[in-house]
Amino acid sequence: MMEASYILVRLLQEYDDIQPRDVRPWQEHLGLILSNLHGTIVGLIKKTWECSGGSLK
């Protein structure tokens, strides 16, 4: 669980937006854990860095 939390935080730091790309509604797949039957289909929007006076914004 700790590793998954770390990866999620790093993704949120690296990308401006995480957008859903699956138009189907959520459908459960019940097993040992609860997950989406269709998997996770997302688009990652990369951050744009601006350089001003030698520092990154």
pLDDT tens for each residue of 1-52: 688 889 888 888 888 888 888 888 888 877 777 777 888 888 888 888 766 6
Which residues have a Cβ under 8 Å from the Cβ of 11 and sit 6 or more positions away? 18, 44
Query: pTM of the prediction?
Result: 0.43
* Dihedral angle sign, alpha carbons of residues 46, 47, 51, 54: negative
Domain assignments of the chain as residue spans, ordered by start: 2-47
Residue 55 has pLDDT above 70, yes or no: no
Write out the H or E segment, with its range, that includes residue 16.
strand 15-20
Which residues have a Cβ under 8 Å from the Cβ of 21 and sit 6 or more positions away? 41, 42, 43
Give the model's pLDDT for residue 54.
56
Residue 57 has pLDDT above 60, yes or no: no
